[in-house]
Amino acid sequence: MDLLVLILQGVIVSATSLVFAAIGELVVERAGVLNLGLEGMMVLGAIAGFAVTLDTGSYVVGIAAAAVTGAIAASLFGFLTQILLSNQVATGLALTIFGLGLSALLGQGYSGESTEPLAKIHIFFLSDIPIVGPLMFSHDPLVYLSLALAVGVAWFLAKTRTGLILRAIGENHDAAHAIGYSVVGVRMAALLFGGACAGVGGAYLSTVQTPLWVENITAGRGWIALAIVVFSAWRPGRALLGAYLFGGVTIVQLHVQGFGIDIEAQYLSMLPYLVTILVLVLISHDKARISLNAPACLAKPFFVSS
Amino acid sequence: MKHIIRKLITGTATVALAFSIGIASAAAKTKVGFVYVGPIGDHGWSYAHNEGRLAVEKAFGDKVKTTYVENVSEGPDAERVIQQLAQSGHGIIFTTSFGFMNPTLKVAKRFPKVKFEHATGFKRAENVATYSGRFYEGRHVIGLIAGKMTKTNTIGYIASFPIPEVVRGINAAYLAARSVNPAVKFKIIWVSTWVDPGKEADAAKALIDQGADVLMQHTDSPAAIQTAEKKGVFAFGQASDMVKFGPKAQLTAIVDDWGPYYVSRVKAVMDGTWKSQDTWDGIGPGMVVMAPFSKRIPENVRAMAAKARDAIASGKLHPFTGPINKQDGSPWLKAGETAQDGALAGMNFYVEGVEGSLPK
């Protein structure tokens, strides 16, 4: 039982950076933009978050810097794809490569440094309840922020007028434009939000999970977050589930090895990716449903012809 | 994806390199080139090689000019980078990753006057020497300490890839730990990566959750040591002294010290005495160094570890001394017999007592 609690705690830590990145990207895609630069924005957020936390000694400032850095990177993407109408796929890939290179450059003076990990909260009584306490009431504040973010985005998309406009723009940007909504404005806002989330996701890795800087610290998590968005059929609740599923399989495969269960380690390492692919295949088998869920204008350029 | 990025980075590095060579003076300096597989900021493997380069600069001052190219991927890029270094008047070039083996030999054929040194490889030529460290000697020392320090009799081991270098490390550490604590068990997790701090930390946490109270790693980032520090268990540094990441957790570290070797080989080029050879040095010649033992290790254990370290250095103790059986119980070494270098270089089996099966 105790071990189960410990495993679940590990899953939560492992999944949190993915939750941030996936939820941010989900909003971007619901607005009809495909930003494949997620990995680049995450890694830039990771170095900004680590460097600023180290230099100022404040996590709040560090995480804020990560969010701003992610948003700046996203605004670059937005300028290129929304104003100059460059191809979204190519620009996103370029942003990832750019982010990895720039973060390596900026991080040169920071490898070999370390900060104290962010403290976990402790609520009187609640955190001490067996099982429930350690699982629900004793994480670092960012875990709760990530959950609040998922709930907030779900509410925003489903229940608010602005959320409706954002979805409308993702479904049919010409119609939304015709009735007077600013397609480019809303998309830029969505991109900035997505960039900020990705930055925080990266910073979670470099300041909380492992408070250190190593080049390419995100190690492909941006791509996993992108897969999780498709996996979720663009629904925040499912994206949360997807991130926890991926984190869960990652942690469980490590434990399986620790127990000495006789399965080739390479298969176990593949497992989180295999599960992601499998679920993707399962939810994609119904073409009608997937096309019903996918924003109709995803990755299509928008321009005013007149 | 990663490949494209590496290419881009190496591309830039090569341009920068060409430029710096263009402006270098043509004085009678010996030019020394280094090719690294990772960033010098990895605080592990490439970092240690770069420390060796700095030692060369320090030893010879104005008489040498060193150049390095980092983040070179193990493929056609490597050949291009090595070729460039050879063309631009470097007298000796160190290529510091296993995957640079064939590119190094190819370029060496075209530049018979340039001396090449390839780390961890096994193919040599008239102008290509090989060198590596006997890191398993260090693993023996940390195995002894771990066996004495564990209270749960469970040692966690974070392994990267099942290559002989890593398998040898596991076996050496296990045999040493068992020799001082017959009840000891190794829990081994293969993470299939050299550097992914998030995954290394996850693996460290999983091992600790399963009862390991001493961690060993054969991955490059300090993430595991950091996790050990957070959870209040012990760990050992890898490739460089990682005490900064775990002041309480690190018991000692196996440090790669390439400096003395690099200095001696550069000197040989200057003197015209360089010859192709195979060097596999350990604690004795100082290529493998143990970081200071933590004060948290009881004094008698520290003394025991120091004694083993010194005995290995003087050649009195070999970490692989029989009787040793393979995992399946078949005999490997007879009583008193020590392992041949050839057998160690290709080690692809666990010794008796290690649990789990070795990934292929």
Please answer yes or no on whether A266 and B192 come within 8 Å at the CB atom.
yes
d(CA A234, CA A26): 6
| pLDDT tens-digit series, residues B165-221 | 899 999 999 999 999 999 999 999 999 888 889 999 999 999 999 999 999 999 888
Please answer yes or no on whether B195 and A214 come within 8 Å at the CB atom.
yes
Q: Which of A97, A215, A265 sits opposite B41 (nearest CB)?
A: A215
Q: Note the pLDDT of residue A268.
A: 76
Q: Which of A108, A258, A265 sits opposite B192 (nearest CB)?
A: A265
Tracing tokens 């066996």 back to the chain, one arrives at B147
Please answer yes or no on whether B192 and A7 come within 8 Å at the CB atom.
no
Domains, in order of start, for chain B = 2-133 (3.40.50.2300), 135-257+287-345 (3.40.50.2300)
Q: Indicate the pLDDT class of residue B14, thresholds 50, 70 and 90.
A: very low
Nearest to A73 by CA among A97, A102, A46, A95: A95
Please answer yes or no on whether B359 and A265 come within 8 Å at the CB atom.
yes
- Put simply, whether A108 touches B (Cβ < 8 Å) is yes
| pLDDT tens-digit series, residues B296-354 | 999 999 999 999 999 999 999 999 998 999 999 999 999 999 999 989 988 999 999 99
d(CA B291, CA B288): 10
**Total CB pairs under 8 A between chain A and B:** 136
Nearest to A251 by CA among A18, A20, A10: A10
Residues 197-226 on A with a CB inside 8 Å of B are: 205, 209-219, 221, 223
Please answer yes or no on whether A217 and B193 come within 8 Å at the CB atom.
no
Which two three-digit tokens encode residue B107? 């370029």
| pLDDT tens-digit series, residues B75-125 | 788 999 999 999 999 999 999 998 899 999 999 999 999 999 999 888 899
Which residues in chain A touch residue B206, judged by CB atoms under 8 angstroms apart? 7, 10, 251, 254-255, 258
Q: Note the pLDDT of residue B17.
A: 47
> Percent of chain B at pLDDT above 70?
92
Which two three-digit tokens encode residue B210? 């399963």
pLDDT in tens, chain A (306 residues): 688 898 999 999 999 999 999 999 999 999 999 999 999 999 999 999 999 999 999 999 999 999 999 999 999 999 999 999 999 999 999 999 999 999 999 998 888 788 877 777 777 777 788 777 788 888 899 999 999 999 999 999 999 999 999 999 999 999 999 999 999 999 999 999 999 999 999 999 999 999 999 888 998 899 999 989 988 889 999 999 999 988 888 898 899 888 888 777 778 778 777 877 787 777 777 777 666 678 888 888 888 765
Higher-confidence position of B133 and B19: B133
| Ordered alpha helix ranges (H), chain A | 2-30, 38-56, 59-78, 88-106, 132-136, 141-159, 161-171, 173-178, 183-203, 221-231, 236-258, 265-284, 287-293
User: Taking residues B50-61, what's their average pLDDT?
Assistant: 95
pLDDT at B19 over 70: no
pLDDT at B224 over 60: yes
> Percent of chain B at pLDDT above 90?
76
Mind telling me how many Å the CA of A69 is from chain B's nearest CA?
21
- Determine phi and psi for B324, rounding to 5 degrees: -135, 130
Mind telling me how many Å the CA of A234 is from chain B's nearest CA?
25
What's the pTM value of the predicted model, to 2 decimals?
A: 0.86
Beta bridge pairs of residue B234: B214
Higher-confidence position of B94 and B240: B94
Which two three-digit tokens encode residue B191? 């993470």
pLDDT at B24 over 50: no
Q: Note the pLDDT of residue B1.
A: 45
Q: Note the pLDDT of residue A63.
A: 96
Does ipTM surpass 0.95 in this model? no
CA atoms within 13 A on the CB side of B20: 16
Q: Which of B39, B156, B192 sits opposite A104 (nearest CB)?
A: B39
CATH code, A2-293: 1.10.3470
